[in-house]
Amino acid sequence: MSDEKESVVGASLISEDRNGVRTLTLHRPQRKNAIDRALWVALRDALDAAGHDPAVRVLVITGAGGAFCSGADIAEPDPTHPVDKMRRLTDVALLLHELPIPTIAKVNGVAVGAGWNLALGCDLVVATPESRFSQIFARRGLSVDLGGSWLLPKLVGLQQAKRLALLTEMIDAEQARALNLVTWVVPESEVDEFVLELAARLVAGPPVALAQTKALLNEGADRTLRDALASEARAQAVNFATADAAEAFAAFAEKRDPEFTGRWSVSGRAVPL
């Protein structure tokens, strides 16, 4: 049975729940979903809520009206002090990066500036052949933000990151995929179904183990091998204390698909490595 619910978080963000998947749709199509003050606040609150809702197993971020996001809306007047403006961006970037659930960016149309870095902050990026990307900041007299200075070098290396940020080139989806900035390129007519199936696969996974794995991969990029091994050992101890580990081994022995819940369950039964 489908558990479906839709709500509007402010006038410019639509939240929809369906079978453990929460989809956040940036909804300012008249501005190609450029993010103004109200949308930054709504997005921050929605990410925080998703991270604290046990019913949400996967988060999808997308845009309305044939565009993903054209970045921060610098055309809208905002009297907020620049420090407070950047704090809003910082909150969104950190909340997205640290969400304990898998995240998917469904990129339709343009994703530029902070809009592109919002997509790059997700764990997986699905684009269409019509998608276009640019680190447009320098054209506006600005430097990279929303985590781009950290994300880009890790994803493409320092030299290619400088190329994208300094030259502000607009690249297409295939170029982005070649640079490891897009995970899949899917025809526009198939992208909705593709993301639904991808999200369903993630929902079916063990939530605690996926959260541990995501955190380990995020942290491992900045750690020594010794640090990473210590973190992995701690994470496995958490996994062994869930019902999912025993369920996985039982399902394997019984030749059936496991049913993962993330439920805490400590017993005397040993789980083999």
Q: What single string gives the DSSP state of each residue in the chain?
A: ---EEEEESSSSEEEEEETTEEEEEE--GGGTT-B-HHHHHHHHHHHHHHHT-TT--EEEEEESTT-SB--B-TTS---S-HHHHHHHHHHHHHHHHH-SS-EEEEE-SEEETHHHHHHHTSSEEEE-TT-EEE-GGGGGT----TTHHHHHHHHH-HHHHHHHHHH---EEHHHHHHTTS-SEE--GGGHHHHHHHHHHHHHTS-HHHHHHHHHHHHHHTTS-HHHHHHHHHHHHHHHHTBHHHHHHHHHHHTTS-------B---S-----
Between 3.50.50.60, 3.30.460.20, 3.60.60.10, 1.10.12.10, what CATH number should domain 205-273 receive?
Answer: 1.10.12.10
- pLDDT confidence of residue 1: 41
- Summarised one tens digit per residue, pLDDT across range 164-206 is 999 999 999 999 999 999 999 999 999 999 999 999 999 999 9
Given a contact cutoff of 8 angstroms between Cβ atoms, the answer to whether 108 and 68 are in contact is yes
* Domain 4-203 class, CATH top level: alpha beta
159 falls in which pLDDT band (50, 70, 90)? very high
- pLDDT confidence of residue 237: 85
Structure tokens given for 60: 């999808």
> 253 pLDDT exceeds 70?
yes
- Summarised one tens digit per residue, pLDDT across range 218-242 is 988 788 878 878 888 888 888 888 8
- pLDDT confidence of residue 10: 64
> 270 pLDDT exceeds 50?
no
- Summarised one tens digit per residue, pLDDT across range 112-137 is 999 999 999 999 999 999 999 999 99
> 71 pLDDT exceeds 90?
yes
Give percent above pLDDT 90 in the chain.
Answer: 73
- pLDDT confidence of residue 128: 98
Provide the Cα torsion 3, 4, 5, 9; round to 10°.
110
Given a contact cutoff of 8 angstroms between Cβ atoms, the answer to whether 264 and 206 are in contact is no
- pLDDT confidence of residue 239: 85
> 271 pLDDT exceeds 60?
no
Least confident of 68-72, 97-101, 233-237: 233-237
Mean of the per-residue pLDDT values for the chain? Answer: 91
Sign (positive/negative) of CA torsion 95, 144, 213, 1?
positive
7 falls in which pLDDT band (50, 70, 90)? low
Every domain of the chain and the residues it spans? 4-203, 205-273
